Each structure stands twice: as structure tokens, then as C-alpha cells.
Structure 1
Amino acid sequence: MCDLHDQHDHEATPVNGSGLSRRRIMQLLGAAGVTTAALAADTDPVMAASADDTPAAYTAPTGLAEDSPAKRSALAWIEGHATRITGLNAAIWEHAELSLREWNSSLAQADFLKKAGFTVEFGTAGFPTAFTATFTQGKGGPALGFSGEYDALPGLSQRQGVGHHDPREYVHDPFAPGYGPGHGCGHCALGTAAASAAAAVAAAAKKHRLPVTVKFFGSTAEETLIGKTYAVSRGVYDGLDAFLDWHPSTANATGWGSTTAMTAVTFTFLGVAGHGGTPLGNKSALDAAVMMATMSEFLREENLAPSGRLHWVINNGGDIPNVTPEIAEISYYVREGSPARVQVLLDKVIAVSEAAAKAAQTSVRHRITAACWNQLPSKSFAELMYDNMRQIGPPEFTAEAQTLAKELQASLGLPQKGLHAEVAALTAPNPVFMGGGSTDVADISWRVPTVSMGAALAPIGTKMHTWSTASCAAAAPGRAAVLAAAKYLAATAVDLLTQPERLKAVKDEFAERTKGVEWRTALPEGYEPPMYEPPRWFLERTGQSWPPENITWPPRRVVSREKFSSLGPELAPQT
């Protein structure tokens, strides 16, 4: 068996006789401030750190994941608690609570870990529904972190295990019908599997006397990318040696590609209300929001690279046509390959907002609600995770699970291929970054070596953030995926304990990739995270007081002070 570190020799292989790898040259160019248009992509030090030199003919190494008594104990713990694990997933699925308001979901996950021997403290980084659970065995061992989430998405309510669109909660409104929230991204399973893996590692460490500190971070508001990014800026994840993450997916796979950096921003336009039947002089904030949406679409051809994404929603556009909207809000997600590239695109979006406000004779203000980096890859960590996934095998999907998947695919007009029932081969990332999704785990990855993987919970060809995922999340597909994901995470974590050379390789790669790059939060100075006031019973159960010290409460009101528009001097009467 070759040493894991040998698998990374390409990172230090000299190119052009310089003695430096391509990624290191890119980092140094960025640090030197080379900013010509031709080199812009290659000289962004953050994108350089995320780059990779792996040849297309790459073959994943084997023999990294080793059988051990501790690993067998961890996997046995998961098998022995399978009913409890799938029950926790189902309970959180039933709650379907939105970001920053996961009162019951966070408590359920915290109680699960308390029973596993963890100490729990709520209020991490000031967020009422965020918590940190800690287990320590012995002294001097590494500190391993697990990522837990439990927020649902608005409008994705769906009955469990039903193969066609059938909202579990239908919101009747004769003017604006809709659906309740649902776990269309599978975070009920995400947090459950991570908590189960953390508990399994703790049980194995205790039984086999392996020194370790296991920390589980119950994170709020992942869907709005608020919870972890702010927590990182507050030092919550400092002191960890490695961090393990997963996400429900349509495939069973891991890798070392990057994600997109992102800034979430909301623009508020303020005008003057008035009767729709006498509109002269009124100032419509909605007109401004619509103009901004229209103008921002014109950025796409000349200002949006293939690695960029720009999407928006008008989340406040008025209530009735007969009242000119005095306040309107439009929210954007601005994504690019690095924080620096996000800022360039964001500046253009802000300029569009100012133009729209001027045209509509309204005022505009904006507030950044979230901002995250792109994820820093870890090839050595992904290789170790992959070897464990390969050895453990894919989720054990039942005939019931595959039938549901095919019914959903038929309902959505997709080929009826069912669920992904194998572990996908580990392949090198695309050498050309083409953009994609974002995650607030990304900021953690710049502070501590991080691995991410996906386990199939949704049918092949479908997507996250859909009602079809909500149908699967706690049904037969979700029950299989949550157990498999817990095993992948736990087995990889145990290898870091029983094979110190694996952890060293992961940390060495992290040190090499981050040379010349200093992580700084992308959140603006003076940022206060948005929060909702918890119910009294939740504060009492979790031992918290309100408000936390890091926010202003009550928040400042947004009130229009605009004046009616002048039409000019009155016309002289006709004679």
C-alpha cells in the first residue's frame, strides 16, 4: 500500500522548470497583485487555491480505509440504532420548520445527542436554534467536527411517499393560494445522519479508548446561508482538526470540486402610496422593483461568466392593485467562483438598483443578508471518504423505495431510472469551473480541512429544492440514505483516529492549499444576522435569554418618508 501523501505528489510537481506547481504559481501571481484581464481567472488566489492539476486519467487509490475494531463498533452502533435514527429523521421531517425558526427540530436533534453522552449548549453565535454538542474521550486526541442542519424550505410541502404532487399543507387564500414548508432539500436527513455519525464515533472511541473530541454543530438557516458563515466569523469552528459534511443528493458520490461564492442581498424601494384610481403623483415602489428585475436581466450577456449565477425574487410587491405599493423588496443571490468575483458582479447589480430607483422617483437601500466563500477542496480527504463509501457500498434501497422514485420520475416527465444504487467513481473535477450551488460549509473549509459527500435520497434526474425530494426525505429512500450517510461519515472519522497518517495528509494538503490566502468573512462590517424572537417555552427549555448580545432589538423599522411627485405648475384654465 502506498502512503496517502504520495497520492498528492502532483500538487508539488514542478512545472516549466520553476520548481512550483501550477496552483502555487497561480497563488503567487495573485498575491503579487497581477490583475490583467487575461490573467484574472488564474490570478485570483482564492480560485487558485481551489484549482487542481489532477490528470483526466486519474484513478482513485484503494487501501486507504482500513478495517478496525473501532470502525466495526461505530458501524454496529448505527445498525443497532437504525430505528431511532430513522425516527429522528421522520420527526424533523414532520416539523418542517423554516430557517431561524427550527424550534422543535433543533431540540429533537440536541436530545438525540444528549442521550448519546454529549453535552449540549444552545445559542451558538447568538442564534437561538443553533447549538454545539461535545463529547470528549481521553486527552490529546484530534478534534473532529460534524455538520448538522434541520431547516426546511417554503412552499415545498408534500405528502410523504406520494409519487405525484400532493401538498401536505395547502394554504388557502382566494387571492394567493400556496403551499406550506417542506424538506425539499432533505435537511431532516442531513442533520440526522451527521448526529448519528457523531454519536457512533463517540461510542466507538469510548469503547476502544481512543482519545478524541467530537463536536457536532447544529446549524440554523443553511437555506439562507446565514448560520455557519456568521458562526465562522465568531470563531465557533476554531480548534478543529477536521470537519465532515454531507448532503442529500441524487447520487452516492464524493469529490474535491469547489462551489460558488455567494452574496445574498435584499433591495428595499420606498415610494408614496395612493389610490389606484387617482395615480398621478403616486410613487410606486413596485415599479422600481420590476424595472430593477428587468434591467438586471440585461447583465447576463456581457457581464455574467459561465461560473456566475444571478437569480431574484420579488418578496414584497404590494397587497392590492388599488393601492400604489409604497414599499417593495426584491432579493438577489449573486454567485461567482470567488468572493472577489462576486463583488464585481454585485457592484453591477447595485448600480442597476440605483438606476431603477431614479427612474421610478423612489429611494432605495440594500442590506446584505448572507455572504459565503467558495469551498476549499481536499483531495486527500475525498479519497479517504471514497474508499470508505466504496467498501461500505450504496444505500440499501428497497423495492418500495425504487417504486416511489419511478413514480416521481413519471410524474415529472423524466426517464424512470429509479434511485442511484451504486457508489459513483471518484473522478477529478472539471478543470474549467462552471459554477453551481453554494454552501455555508464553504467558510468552514477555509478554517479547517473539510470533506463533503452526497448520498442518494432523491431520484435520478430530479433536483434538490423540489417537492419530489420532500416526498422521499423521510420515506423509504430517505430511510436508506440516512443510514448509509451516517456510516460513510462515521467510518471516515474513525480512520482519522486509528490512522494518524491520514489526518496528517489531510492537514498537510490544507496547509499547502491555503498558502498566501487569508480567510476574511465576506459579511460586511457591523453585520447583524437576521433573527426571529423565539417562543418563551423554547427559551426556557434551552436556558437562553432574549435578545442575544450581538443584535439590536427591536430591529429598526423601515418606513417611507418620500413625498408625492410634482407634476409641475398647474395649467392655466382653457378659455
Structure 2
Amino acid sequence: MCDLHDQHEHEALPASGPTLSRRRIMQLLGAAGVTAGVMTAEADPAMAAGADDSPAAYEAPDGLAADTPAKRAALDWITSHDDRITGLNAEIWDNAELSLREWKSSIAEADFLEQAGFDVKFGTAGFPTAFTATFTHGKGGPVLGFSGEYDALPGLSQNKGVGHHDPREYIHDPFAPSYGPGHGCGHSALGTAAAAAAAAVAQAAKKHRLPVTVKFFGSTAEEMLIGKTYAVSKGVYDGLDAFLDWHPSTANATGWGSTTAMTAVTFTFLGVAGHGGTPLGNKSALDAAVMMATMSEFLREENLAPSGRLHWVINNGGDIPNVTAEISEISYYVREGSPARVQVLLDKVIAVSEAAAKASQTTVRHRVTSACWNQLPAKAFAELLHANMREIGPPQFSDEAHELAKELQESLGLPQKGMHDKVGELTPPNPVFMGGGSTDVADISWNVPTVSMGAALAPIGTKMHTWSTAACAAAAPGQAAVIAAAKYLAATAVDLITQPERLKAVKDEFKDRTKGVSWKTALPDGYEPPMYEPPAWFLKKTGQKWPPANITWPPKRVVSQEKFSSLGPELEPQK
């Protein structure tokens, strides 16, 4: 989620002066003409749905988390299976498989749930490495969903438990050395803890005869924000009463803040190749990509609000200086506080691409690879989850975990504070939305009440999407976080089963927040998700056939048909 973790590190608003609710502050700022990152309900209902009426002097309610035999059974199951749980985390960490290609990792997680009594079916929404695992006990109980992810990130390979940068996989190339993939966002732990929580709830329900259906969604390509957004549009999450989510973080906390909506888009420029020593008439697609990158930077001063983010990478810039690049690709993540605001910024980025193509005499096309909404907050759900986090306590970090954290902090030039060993206070979100990360869980949150939380897997002051997080994910810090996160999720889920009034409060708030807002996928019409063809052994193991019905295969080739550029009439020889 890759980016969800930062939303949980709230700071309480000052308690001095008049007490204003977040909703009232939004209204006042709107009346004053302040629009950067703040929208009134009339202007943008998707952002206003996240507004909050909690006063600045908010205090989290007590007595929400119940001590029941079923909850103790779920927590005991996690404790008694901790070696198996941490072993799954280590196995997925070792695999370090990239988005849409999590062949071994998805099977490992599915096997874990099958052994816990779940029925597993692969190929959810057509994605080969996505699966749905279902456990049902009794009739008439709530339907609870858990979210599992297991994809790694490119270039973040790191040896486990090492406090300085030491890639586990170093790829030698005399012209372009690089590192292999690694779990620099901790998804090995994310999927493992969620699977453990789902299994624990199932065992507790069976032991104490609680009616419930537990559904676990193994999701592909979260790092690309592809798996869940498309699955939601196909109705995969329909019928759930509540959805529980977590993400590795640098702190142990939850809240009801929002995230940024996002559209991921790739621009392909097509030119004409030619010898670099005789460049006249060639058309450089790389020139176009560089011009686009440069011009898009000029959007920041007057077109990018504090709630927006714009970042890019050149995916393909050619192979050798002596061949003019005929094809070049540059990818953008365009983020804002709501889908409507994303579209305004995206249109400006597209206009920049067209200007770059015209100036370079190339052609350009673009394709949206993913698009998600901002997350819908769930205050009552967060309050219940926070109550359970306080009852269970922070992760049990060993001296080894703190020592590794301090070594990493020293290596990165940060204060040596170790791991966050407390449960953070529950505080209202900032009244002015200032942007941040995005998650494909957000689309789920508009269709079913959803709660998210963070558990400390990385050292204080560090960030996700770094090699330092990969160093921790399956080492002592990550293994402690996995067990704690599994307990937080399982305990909260059991409360939803044994305390129907808690589930009702969560669902009532969801109904109120979504009033007047009609969710529609931000993916374009006719969208086909990107996929890789699985190896034959994976298809056989998971009982799938290739290709799935929802994509065109083989995909259409991208081939330049451009002509050399004219330099005008031949010059007459001088006499």
C-alpha cells in the first residue's frame, strides 16, 4: 500500500482556543476561498466524506474491546503457532517476487490458509496470483474480509538483519549495475499477519460455535495499485460486512485519516532510430521523454496543491548512446485528494506530453495502468481497533530488534531511537488534508466499512520503500510486528462477531459517510489490467488456464512507424 503507513502517525491538534470540528474548519476555509487541499462538501463530496466532527480535545472511548473466551482462543492460537507464522513471513521474504509475478509467495500463503480449513480458489478477477480463501461456520453470522499482499519492490534487495546497505542480490553490469528485488515495504509480513489473523478467527469461531464467514483476499500487485482496484470493479468484495487491513509502518497506530487518490499513467513516445554519429533526421523518443519530464516540473509552482503529488520515472530511455532511441516510456503517478482533483492534474500532464511530442516531432500515446480513490475513513472502526491494540500492547521487540534498528538509524544518519515500542494515541486527522500515500484498499473502503492500522516493522524515522525496511521485514523487528499485527486484527474481528452493536456502529457510520456519494471505478472504460504469463508449473499447481477471459492475449505490439525528419530542400553547392 504501499504508501498507507504514514497516515497512522497522527499528531493531536492544539487544545487551546475555541474547539472547532474538522468539518467546520473545512467550511471556514472554503468560505475564505482557500482551495489548496481543502474542499467543501458541495465542491467535492469524495473529500468531504472524510471530514470529521471530532473536537480538537478528542479522547478515545474506553470499554470497546471485550475480553471473551473466543478472543482469548484466537490470540492463543496465534501465540501457539508463532513459529509457523514467522516461518511463512521468512519464506515470502526469501522469494522476493515482483508485482503480478508472485508465483511462489501466493501459493505459500494459500497453503497456510488451506491447512487452517479454508477453501482456496485462485484466479480472482482474472489475476493468476490472486486468490480468495473462504471459511464458514454456522449460519447468519457476519462476513468479514482480510487483505493479504505479498509483492516485493524492484531494486531494494538487502541481506536480512544487516544494519548497513548490503544487497542480497547484486546484478553486475559494467554499464548499469543494479540490485535485485526486496521487501522494502514489508509485504511479506503484511500478507502473513493477515492470513494468521484470518486463521485465528476461524479457529476461535469453530471452537466457540460462533457463526461467521471469514474471507481472505490474496491480492497481487499492490505496489502498482492494480490488484484491488480492478477486483473491486468486478464485484469481488461484494457481500462483506467489514474489511480489516494493516500495513507495516514505523509506529504502532491507527486512525481515520484519508489517503490520496491516484492515477498511474505511462506515456510512450515513438520516433525513428539512427546512428548517433549521423543524427540528422533521426527522431529521438528519449528527447521527448526528457522534455516531458522537464516541462512537467514546471507544473509544481502554480498547478500542484499541498494535497497533490507528481512523480515520474523513465522506464525506457534506450540502450546505447550510439543508437537514437526509437521508443521511450515515462511513467507518472498523479495523486490528489479525490478522483476529481486527480483528473484535473492528469489532464495537465497529458497536455505536457502532447507538447513534448510536437516539439520532438515524435508521436505519443498513453495508457492508464491503475487508478484508485482516496480512502473513506471509519472512525468507529478505528476506535475499536485502537482499543484492542491498547489491550494487547505493542510488539514485543527483543534487544536484537532494537540493536538492528539503531544500526540502521546510524547508517542512515538518523537519531538512534530503536523501534517504536508503544501504542500511539488515537487522534483526529489533520483538519486540512495535506496529501500523502495511496492504497488500492481505498476502493474497497467505499464499498464496505474498512479499517487500517500500522504496526512498527521498521525503525523510528525511517521510511517504507527502502532497503532498510527489507533488512527488518523478516528479521527480529519484522517477526515481532507480524505476531502483534495478527493479534490486533484477530481481536478486532472477534469483537465484531461477539458484539453486534460494534458492527452496527461501524456500518451505520459507513452508511452516513457514503450518503450522496456514488462510487464508480476510476479505471477507464475498456481497461484491461496488465499481466504476465505464468509458468506452466504454476498454472498446473493452481488449476488455472491461460489466458484469462478478461484480457487480450497476446497483447498488441508497440512498433514505431515514424518517418525520418525532413531537413528541407538540398542546398546548392557553393560556387
Residues 200-219 of structure 1 aligned to structure 2 (within 5 Å):
200-219=200-219
Partner AA of 1:55 in structure 2: P
Cα distance in 2 between the residues matched to 1:55 and 1:162: 44
Match of 2:349 in 1: 349
Q: 1:24 to 1:56 in 2, by over 3 A?
A: closer
SS in 1 for 2:200: helix
Contact map agreement 1:242 1:450 (CA 8 A) in 2: yes
Contact map agreement 2:420 2:456 (CA 8 A) in 1: yes
Question: Does 369-378 or 39-48 show the bigger shift?
Answer: 39-48
Give me the identity figure in percent: 84
Cα distance in 1 between the residues matched to 2:279 and 2:413: 46
Which string of whole-angstrom CA distances, capped at 9 and with x for unpartnered residues, describes residues 479-536 of structure 1?
A: 1000000000000000000000000000000000000001000000000000000000
Partner AA of 1:259 in structure 2: T
Residues 328-343 of structure 1 aligned to structure 2 (within 5 Å):
328-343=328-343
Cα distance in 1 between the residues matched to 2:400 and 2:485: 19
The Cα shift of 1:301 comes to 0.3
SS in 2 for 1:265: strand
The Cα shift of 1:566 comes to 0.2
Match of 1:183 in 2: 183
Partner AA of 2:288 in structure 1: A
Partner AA of 2:442 in structure 1: A
For normalisation by structure 1, the TM-score amounts to 0.94
Residues 101-500 of structure 1 aligned to structure 2 (within 5 Å):
101-500=101-500
The Cα shift of 1:53 comes to 1.9
Cα distance in 1 between the residues matched to 2:35 and 2:462: 38
Match of 1:557 in 2: 557
- The equivalent position to 1:41 in structure 2, one of 22, 39, 45, is 39
Which string of whole-angstrom CA distances, capped at 9 and with x for unpartnered residues, describes residues 10-52 of structure 1?
A: xxxxxxxxxxx9859999xx9xxx9x98698112000010111
Cα distance in 1 between the residues matched to 2:422 and 2:397: 10
Cα distance in 2 between the residues matched to 1:277 and 1:465: 40
Partner AA of 1:52 in structure 2: D
Cα distance in 1 between the residues matched to 2:52 and 2:512: 12
Partner AA of 1:516 in structure 2: G
SS in 1 for 2:222: coil
The runs of 5 or more residues in structure 2 that have no matched partner are 1-20
The Cα shift of 1:55 comes to 1.3
Contact map agreement 1:26 1:45 (CA 8 A) in 2: no
Cα distance in 1 between the residues matched to 2:393 and 2:26: 38
Match of 1:60 in 2: 60
SS in 1 for 2:223: coil
Match of 1:69 in 2: 69
Pairs aligned (count): 549
Cα distance in 1 between the residues matched to 2:75 and 2:108: 22
Contact map agreement 1:26 1:44 (CA 8 A) in 2: no
The Cα shift of 1:306 comes to 0.2
Which string of whole-angstrom CA distances, capped at 9 and with x for unpartnered residues, describes residues 191-240 of structure 1?
A: 00000000000000000000000000000000000000000000000000
Cα distance in 2 between the residues matched to 1:242 and 1:120: 20
Partner AA of 1:299 in structure 2: L
Cα distance in 2 between the residues matched to 1:128 and 1:239: 23
Q: 1:198 to 1:299 in 2, by over 3 A?
A: same
Partner AA of 2:128 in structure 1: P
Contact map agreement 1:155 1:182 (CA 8 A) in 2: yes
Q: 1:158 to 1:98 in 2, by over 3 A?
A: same
Runs of 4+ residues deviating >2 angstroms = 21-27, 36-40
The runs of 5 or more residues in structure 1 that have no matched partner are 1-20
Match of 1:13 in 2: none
Cα distance in 2 between the residues matched to 1:503 and 1:54: 20
Partner AA of 1:512 in structure 2: D
Q: 1:23 to 1:234 in 2, by over 3 A?
A: farther
Q: 1:26 to 1:428 in 2, by over 3 A?
A: closer
Partner AA of 2:240 in structure 1: L
Partner AA of 2:291 in structure 1: M
Contact map agreement 1:23 1:49 (CA 8 A) in 2: no
Match of 2:516 in 1: 516
The Cα shift of 1:369 comes to 0.1
For normalisation by structure 2, the TM-score amounts to 0.94
Cα distance in 2 between the residues matched to 1:363 and 1:566: 16
